[in-house]
Structure formats: C-alpha cells, structure tokens
Amino acid sequence: MVVTVPLFSPHFGHGGLGIATAVTLVISAGAWLIWQFAGRRPMLWIVTLAIMGAAGGALAGLSSLTTAVSVGFVVVIAAGARLPFEASLAIMAETVAAFLVAAIVSGAPAEAIVGWSAGFIGFWAFGMTRRAYLLRTVEAEDALAQARRAHTAETQAAALAERARIAREIHDVLAHSLAAVSVNLQAAEGLLEALPEQGPEVARAVECVQRAGALTREGMSETRRAILALRDDVDGDGPGYASPAAQPPRDVTAATAATAGDAGGEPAAADRAGRIVARLQALVDEHRAAGDAAVELTVTGTPRPLGADGALTAFRTTQEALTNARKHAPGQPVAITVSYPPGEMTLLVGNALPPAGAAAPLGDTGAGYGLTGLRERAALAGGTLSAGPEDGRWQVRLRLPA
C-alpha cells in the first residue's frame, strides 16, 4: 500500500489533495508500526488503532480506487475481533465517517463510496464473528481446565478417603487385636509368676511370654506408624482418649456419605433388628473372659434395624471404647447402654476415669486416631458421635438413625 498509493492520483505534493494523501499515508504507516509493537500495552494499542482508523479512512476516501482501503479493513477487523462491541463499533464508525468525508471532498465515485462503506461494515462484522469464536474457544478451554481440576480434586479426595478407610480398618482390627493379646500376655505372665514352684520350665515359660509381649508391643508400634503414614493428609483429633482436663465433648454433625461405607466383614444385606445387640453381647462376653474389668450391657426399648453401615459403626464404637477403657483406665468397670428412642438408636459407653497417677501400661500405645475414625464412621452412617469426660466418667455417645 505504501508503495502503490503514491503512484496513483492524486500524486504527492500536487495540490491540496496530494498533500492530504501524503499526510494521511505517513500517519497511517507510522501508527501501524507503533500498533504492531503495542500488544502488551492495551491503551496504546487502542489509541494507535483509533489513529489508524481516522487516517486510514481519510486516505481511502482520498484515494478510493487504490490499495489505501486496506488500512481501514485492517482497523475494522482488528477492532471487531479484539475489542468489546461498543469500542469496536466506535472505531468502525470513526473509520467510515473519515472515509465518507474524505471521499465526498475528493469527489470519489458514488459506487466507490457505497461499496467501500459496505465493505468496512462487512469486515467489522467478520471481526465480531471472529471475536465470538475466540471467546467460545477461551470459554471451552477454561471449562476443560476446570473439569480437569475438578477431576484431579475428586481423585485426590477419593484417594484420601480410601486411605482413611484403610487406616480405620487397620486400627479397628489389628490394633484392637494386638492390644487384647498384650493384655492377655500380661495376665499370663502374672499367673506364671504367682505359681508357688518356680522351676526352670516356669522360668522359660515366663521368658517366652515376655518375649511375646515385647513382640506384640513392637507390632503395635509398627501399626501406629502405618496408621500415621496413611493419615498424614487427614486432620486428626490427637489421642483417642483425653485426660480429665481435656476439652468438652465435640459433636460431629451428620453428613451425607460421599463414598460408600466400608463393609469390614459385615454382610451387605440390611441388619436384622436385634442382631447388633447379639454382637455387642458377644463382645462383652469376650472382654469379661479376659477378666481385667467388669463390663455390663443394658438394652432399653425395642431393637430396630440399623443397616449394615450402622451396625458396623455401633460395633466398632463399642470395640474402640472398650479398648480405650482397657488401655487408659485398666480395672475400671464399663457400662454399655443401648436405647432406641423414636427414630434413632443411641449407644452410650462409659467408664470411671482412673485416679491421678494410676498405672496404665498400654496408655501410650495406638495411633491416636481411634475417635477420629469413629466420628468418620458415624458421619458416613448418617449419625453423630461425641466423646469426653462427664461427671467423673469418660463417655462415648453414638447416635444413629433407626
């Protein structure tokens, strides 16, 4: 355009139209150069585009039968594709107005005036179409990025939930079993040492029991480390049994299960009414057989079905509460009360707090996530769980819909 326009009429420097053509051509070329390097400066980009529109439109009007119209086409397309509707419309109108004024003053043919005016408007509409396409592309890319982020977050949440589930199962199955074995080994060691005749066979038996107890405690420590590794991304509540100076009980509001509850060996079919009571009675009988503390089970009301998740939650809660009582308050009697108020089942496990300074050989064992796991189980089953000291007793209270 810079090369060809001076070759056509009006020629540079010949009369007012020639001078005007030269001025508008220089302004258009200079503004175009600045515009090419103003992409990182939005205001400069818009200002130079507006200058190009005015100068290019006037140049096209002065030299309407040359390549001068290309400046105006570049301006209206760029404005339509890059600027909002109001701003692009203003620049397009400015370009067309400058063209019309210059074309009328220079006496351009009517067909050139009408044709190029329609061409400017048409190319501006093309730029607007291009802008809409670009916006849809950006929105699609943003939606895809959001979907990917949501999928990543969902995958991470599922992985954390699975890790929490595995940690709960390790704690509820292996840790409880090892704690029970350790208590029985201590009882066996005490019985062997109490024998009146302490022969070499008895000494070897005591040595074997002591070795088994050490291995059991080591296994409990390994279990603790495994649970801590699994739950390093899950907020815990500290030790599973607080001291009398601990904070008041905290309730966990019922939440809708985001993932399916773990079965833990429980049958998939809904639990029959009263079956959970039988399982709790079997658990009580097992602890009574250990002989380390008195355990009583009381049931009030008519048992109602809990479902597989609810029954497993009630069983694990009782199991955890009995194990905590054995670890932190050895020898203290434990009372278990199961009641069925309207619409729910309430499980209350309580024991007297140990005297200050009382020995608790197993008090430092465990991963410290017992109550955390119970709260998670209760929430997944649609219930709530609270635990803490009340009136000189440690109380674990579970509420489940029934």
- List the domain boundaries for the chain: 5-108, 154-401
- Burial group, residue 18, by CB count within 10 angstroms (0-12, 13-18, 19+): middle
Report the pLDDT averaged over residues 370-391.
87
Q: For residue 205, give Cα distances in angstroms to 177, 191, 192, 264, 383.
A: 22, 11, 8, 36, 48
- Cis, bond preceding 10 (omega within 30 deg of 0): yes
Question: How buried is residue 108: exposed, middle or buried, by Cβ count under 10 Å (0-12/13-18/19+)?
Answer: buried
- pLDDT confidence of 298, banded at 50, 70, 90? very high
Which one of 133-142, 179-188, 248-257 scores highest in mean pLDDT?
Answer: 133-142
**348 in the Ramachandran plot: left (φ > 0), alpha (ψ -120 to 50) or beta?**
beta
Rounded average pLDDT over 357-385:
73
- What lies within 8 Å, CB to CB, of 135 at 6+ separation is none
Q: How confident is the model at residue 205 (pLDDT cuts 50, 70, 90)?
A: confident
Mean pLDDT of 192-208: 80
Q: Above 60 in pLDDT, residue 34?
A: yes
**Which fold, 154-401?**
Heat Shock Protein 90 (3.30.565)
| 354-356-359 Cα angle (round to 5) | 65
What mean pLDDT comes out for the span 320-333? 84
User: Residues 190, 370, 391, CA angle at the centre, nearest 5°?
Assistant: 80
- Select the more confidently predicted residue: 139 or 185: 139
* Residue 231: per-residue pLDDT: 61
In this predicted model, what pLDDT tens digit does every residue of 49-58 receive, in sequence order? 999 999 989 9
Q: Residue 385 — pLDDT band, cuts 50, 70, 90?
A: very high
Residue 30 backbone dihedrals phi, psi, to 5 degrees: -65, -45
Residue 246: what pLDDT?
Answer: 36
Give pTM, 2 decimals.
0.43
From residue 269, alpha-carbon distances to 272, 308, 329 in Å are 9, 7, 37
Residue 6 has what pLDDT? 76
Residue 402: its pLDDT value, please? 83
Residue-by-residue DSSP string for 298-362 = EEES-----HHHHHHHHHHHHHHHHHHHHHHSTT--EEEEEE--TTEEEEEEEEEPPPTT---TT
Answer whether 373's CB lies under 8 Å from 388's CB. no
371's CB contacts (< 8 A; 6+ apart) are 237, 240, 241, 320, 385, 387, 396
| Model pLDDT for residues 93-107, shown as the tens digit of each residue | 999 999 999 989 888
Task: Say what the pLDDT of residue 356 is.
Answer: 72
